[in-house]
C-alpha cells in the first residue's frame, strides 16, 4: 500500500462529512471531477472501498466509517507538527503559556516574575477549557490547568498546589451575607441556578442554569443576578464589585497544574515547570 497523502485525507473528510461530492467540492474550492478521481485514488491506496455510491446518494462503508474516526485526528497532528516546527525555527523563540483568563492570577504573576531572564514567556489568554486544545494543536507549549475540571487526555502534567473553592454570588443576593455555604446550598437556589460549564466534549450538563462559555459572559450574568458559580479561590481576580465570594466548605479541592503535550517536553518547558514547582510548594506552605 502506498503512503496516503494529507491532501487525500482532507478530501476524504470533506466528502465523508457532506456525503455529497458536489457540496464537498464546493467546500474545498475545487471542481467535482478531480475530487472524485482523488477519492478513487485514495481507495486504491488503502485497498478498500470507502464509499457506496448509487442513485440514492453517497454512504460510508464500514471501512470509511473507521477512517473517518481516525482521519481528523491525523490531520490535526500534521497541522500541529507544522506549527511547532515553524515556532521552533523562529529567529526569536519564545515559550507560549496558555491560561484561562482570570485563573490562578497570583501564581501566574509569580511564575512570570521568577522565569529565568533567558526564557522569554508569552501568555495566551483563553476561555473556559481551551488550554488543552492550544497544547494539542501546537499553539502553546505549556498551560496552567486545573483538576478535576480540565481535560487531560493526551497531556502530561504536574500538580502544583490545591486550594478551596468559593461561590461567586451577586452582592445583592441574601447568600452574599453568609460566612460560608455548602454544595447542597449553592446547588439548589431557586432564583439563582448554578451556571453550567462546557464538558470535555463541549456539550453541557443538564440543569436550569445558563450555559456559559466565556468569563465576561459569566461575570455579567452573576452581576445581573441570573446565576452563581463555584470556582477555585485564586480565580477571584476577575471578580466584579457586584460580586461576593463566599467559601464553600465541602467543595472538592481544586488543584492547579502545569501541563504540556504528552511526550513533548522540551528543555524550556522543563525549566518553567521546575520554576512552577518551587512556586507551587511556596503556595502550598502558605495555605497550610
At residue 243 the predicted structure's pLDDT band, cuts being 50, 70 and 90, is very high
The yes-or-no verdict on residue 257 having pLDDT over 80 is: yes
120 CB-near residues (< 8 Å, 6+ apart):
92, 94, 95
| Bond from prior residue into 148 cis (ω within 30 degrees of 0) | yes
The yes-or-no verdict on residue 1 having pLDDT over 60 is: no
β-pairing, 165-170 vs 57-60, is: unpaired
Percent of the chain with pLDDT over 90: 57
The yes-or-no verdict on residue 279 having pLDDT over 60 is: yes
At residue 288 the predicted structure's pLDDT band, cuts being 50, 70 and 90, is low
Count of C-beta atoms within a 10 Å radius of residue 19:
13
The yes-or-no verdict on residue 48 having pLDDT over 90 is: yes
What are the backbone angles phi and psi of residue 120, rounded to the nearest 5°?
A: -65, 135
Residue 54 pLDDT: 85
- The C-alpha angle 68, 70, 74, rounded to 5 degrees, equals 120
Average of per-residue pLDDT across 214-234: 90
76 membership: H or E segment, kind and range:
helix 62-88
Distance (Å, whole) CA 79 – CA 101: 26
Average of per-residue pLDDT across 40-63: 91
Average of per-residue pLDDT across 68-72: 90
Reported pTM? 0.73
> Which range, of 209-218, 255-264, 279-288, averages the lowest pLDDT?
279-288
Residue 149 pLDDT: 85
Q: How many distinct helices (H) and strands (E) make up the chain?
A: 9, 10
Q: Enumerate the β-bridge partners of residue 196.
A: 211
Distance (Å, whole) CA 32 – CA 34: 6
pLDDT tens-digit map of 115-162: 888 889 999 998 888 899 899 988 999 999 999 888 898 899 999 999
Percent of the chain with pLDDT over 70: 97
The yes-or-no verdict on residue 237 having pLDDT over 70 is: no
* Length of the chain as a residue count: 288
Amino acid at each position: 500500500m502506498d503512503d496516503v497523502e494529507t491532501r487525500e485525507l482532507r478530501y476524504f473528510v470533506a466528502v465523508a462529512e457532506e456525503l455529497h461530492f458536489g457540496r464537498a467540492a464546493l467546500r474545498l474550492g475545487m471542481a467535482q471531477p478531480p475530487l472524485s478521481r482523488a477519492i478513487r485514488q485514495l481507495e486504491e491506496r488503502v485497498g478498500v472501498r470507502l464509499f457506496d455510491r448509487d442513485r440514492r446518494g453517497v454512504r460510508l462503508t464500514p471501512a470509511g466509517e473507521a477512517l473517518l474516526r481516525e482521519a481528523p485526528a491525523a490531520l490535526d497532528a500534521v497541522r500541529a507538527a507544522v506549527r511547532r516546527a515553524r515556532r521552533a525555527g523562529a529567529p526569536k523563540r519564545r515559550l507560549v503559556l496558555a491560561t484561562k483568563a482570570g485563573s490562578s492570577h497570583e501564581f501566574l504573576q509569580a511564575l512570570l516574575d521568577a522565569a529565568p531572564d533567558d526564557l522569554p514567556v508569552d501568555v495566551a489568554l483563553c476561555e473556559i477549557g481551551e488550554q488543552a486544545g492550544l497544547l494539542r494543536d501546537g499553539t502553546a507549549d505549556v498551560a496552567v490547568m486545573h483538576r478535576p475540571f480540565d481535560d487531560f487526555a493526551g497531556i502530561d502534567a504536574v500538580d502544583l498546589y490545591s486550594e478551596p473553592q468559593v461561590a461567586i454570588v451577586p452582592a445583592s443576593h441574601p447568600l452574599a451575607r453568609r460566612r460560608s455555604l455548602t454544595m447542597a446550598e449553592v446547588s439548589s437556589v431557586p432564583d439563582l441556578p448554578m451556571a453550567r460549564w462546557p464538558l470535555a466534549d463541549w456539550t453541557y450538563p443538564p440543569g436550569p442554569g445558563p450555559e456559559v462559555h466565556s468569563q465576561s459572559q459569566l461575570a455579567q450574568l452573576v452581576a445581573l443576578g441570573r446565576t452563581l458559580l463555584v470556582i477555585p479561590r485564586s480565580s477571584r481576580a476577575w471578580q466584579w464589585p457586584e460580586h461576593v465570594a463566599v467559601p464553600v466548605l465541602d467543595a472538592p479541592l481544586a488543584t492547579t497544574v502545569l501541563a504540556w503535550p504528552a511526550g513533548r517536553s522540551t528543555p524550556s518547558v522543563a525549566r518553567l515547570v521546575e520554576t512552577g514547582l518551587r512556586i507551587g510548594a511556596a503556595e502550598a506552605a502558605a495555605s497550610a
